Chain A
């Protein structure tokens, strides 16, 4: 049986961004999580990246100018029945 704590710093840092994005699963996720509990240096790095990421999250919503909201409401009020199933350039 392999040692569950064998992941090294290089490997942990390689996987860190994917881990913080919530896109790492299974054994790799557990290995990173375990490594961060025992390695102060990588833990500090992970905390920094997490906080930086949180700052970008704050850009998610932009204040809407009242005139633009009014424009959107007006636009929608003029819509008639949508075409059934017409593709929307997805």
Chain B
């Protein structure tokens, strides 16, 4: 701990504001609602301040406050639902590869339908696909793919084994890619033969 409560508060304010955009991003993907997300972040900040004495290494603040935020979300969900959201039994399988849908190995060098597809994706396409994931998969995808936490850190945050993180991540990503593909088909974002003519990309 620092010398005085004021020093602690200044340090805490600085550290919190530095990660605030990340906390709000995560809370938005978890709650899928801005007002709820902001309330969740405010609650997490208050809890973090109260528990600051238990943070032994301040350089680990980011991971620590993410754990607080995620656990608050999970405990509030349990309190409101009466019981945790039912987890899908099948954590394996359901393979889906966007690449395999898009890739055309015999096209000429100038053509890359995969790149064209990625170029057409916008932020809203990605957030919509994440928001549609069942909660157990959404949690690991948000922590690992959006926030960049290691498998070990996700495992500690969610209190599940690393093997479970891996399998949920694989399944979550397959579901995400399937959702992006479905959206692309619906919205006409799939690369067309016209897109693939040289000079029209």
* Chain A interfacial positions (CB closer than 8 Å to B): 17-18, 21-23, 41, 44-45, 48-49, 51-53, 55-65, 68-69, 71-73, 75-77, 79-90
A68 to chain B: closest residue by CB: B38
Q: What is the size, in residues, of chain B's interface with A at 8 Å between Cβ atoms?
A: 62
In Å, the complex CA distance between A43 and B126 comes to 24
In Å, the complex CA distance between A57 and B170 comes to 17
> Are A76 and B151 touching (Cβ within 8 A)?
no
Residues of B within 8 A of A71 (CB): 38, 42
Smallest beta-carbon distance B16→chain A, Å:
7
In Å, the complex CA distance between A53 and B126 comes to 11
Smallest beta-carbon distance A44→chain B, Å:
7
> Are B42 and A75 touching (Cβ within 8 A)?
yes
The answer, among B16, B68, B151, for a CB contact under 8 Å with A90, is B68
Please provide the chain B residues from 18 to 37 with a CB less than 8 Å away from any CB of chain A in the complex. Answer: 20-22, 24-25, 28-29, 34
B160 at the binding interface (Cβ < 8 Å): no
> Are B115 and A89 touching (Cβ within 8 A)?
no
> Are A60 and B148 touching (Cβ within 8 A)?
yes
Q: Binary interface profile of B, 52-67, with partner A (CB < 8 Å = 1, else 0)?
A: 1111000000001001
B77 at the binding interface (Cβ < 8 Å): no
Smallest beta-carbon distance A26→chain B, Å:
16
> Are B17 and A69 touching (Cβ within 8 A)?
yes
B46 at the binding interface (Cβ < 8 Å): yes
23 contacts between A and B (CB under 8 A): A21-B151, A44-B103, A51-B115, A59-B123, A59-B126, A59-B130, A60-B146, A61-B21, A62-B25, A72-B16, A72-B17, A73-B13, A76-B9, A79-B9, A81-B5, A82-B5, A86-B50, A86-B54, A88-B52, A88-B55, A89-B68, A90-B64, A90-B68
